Copies of this chain bind each other. A is one copy, B any other.
Amino acid sequence: MKIAVLGTGMVGRALAGRLSALGHDVVIGTRDVEQTLARTEPDWLGNVPFAQWQQDHQAVRLAAFADAGAHGEIIVNATQGALSLSALEATGAANLSGKVLWDIALPLDLSQGLPPSLTVANTDSLGEQIQRAYPEARVVKALTSVFAEVMVAPGRIPGDHNIFVVGEDADAKATVAGLLSEIGWPEKSILDLGGIRAARGVEMYMPLYFAINAALGTFDFNIAVVRK
């Protein structure tokens, strides 16, 4: 499948690398290709410069947002949440129309350090903002509740644990669930929380997520929904 992953950070790389290794034709989108390739320093999280990462992932092509959007039958938004609407604008409405827009972005406000607050919350969410801005896109918010390394290797966490899928379009959710299954998420681990409004729930989980991270001293965790 032709997939565009928007965003060259940790999440974008993890998804692009994994989906490419699974045989998909993946283009990773960025605002400025030359600038992205010119970086020589690790980012603030310690990730190697993109050009160095790409040496180990040569099947993944780098392109400007609009070119990536034109390539993708499915678009994965893995940009920073605070920049997502701008990145999608650069990608172009025509490149999103009718397509599955898998939104993994979180509206984290990291300006005050960790733990982050959110740039939108409570009575709205980034997922809803994106769906409103691109009504012809079939937005699916999914896989937002775990660290990048867990996203693409759910077996890092033992036993049963869950991820959440949210969106208005049942076929689009099924498409994303199919990719999640390919990545390694068991069908029973995927919990469909209904329409895009529930993006509030998965995004507002972040403060608890970072509090658990601080308490455990690791991002290698997830939550399991346990029922009677």
Contacts and interface: CB of A to CB of B under 8 A. Distances in A.
Interface of A: 115, 117-118, 121-123, 156-161, 164, 166, 191-194, 197-198, 200-202, 204-212, 214-216, 218, 220-228
A145 to B, nearest CB: 9
Contacts of A121: 121-122, 204
Copy number in this complex? 2
Nearest 3 A/B pairs, CB to CB: A201-B208, A220-B228, A201-B211
Contacts of A198: 207, 211, 214
Contacts of A204: 121, 204-208
Q: Which of A204, A215, A221, A224 has most chain B Cβ within 10 Å?
A: A204
A191 B215 CA distance: 8
A26 to B, nearest CB: 27
A104 to B, nearest CB: 16
Contact of A118 (B122, B164, B166, B211): B122
A197 B117 CA distance: 11
A224 B225 CA distance: 6
18 contacts: A115-B197, A117-B122, A117-B200, A159-B226, A161-B224, A166-B211, A193-B212, A193-B215, A194-B214, A198-B214, A202-B211, A204-B204, A204-B206, A205-B208, A212-B225, A216-B225, A220-B228, A221-B226
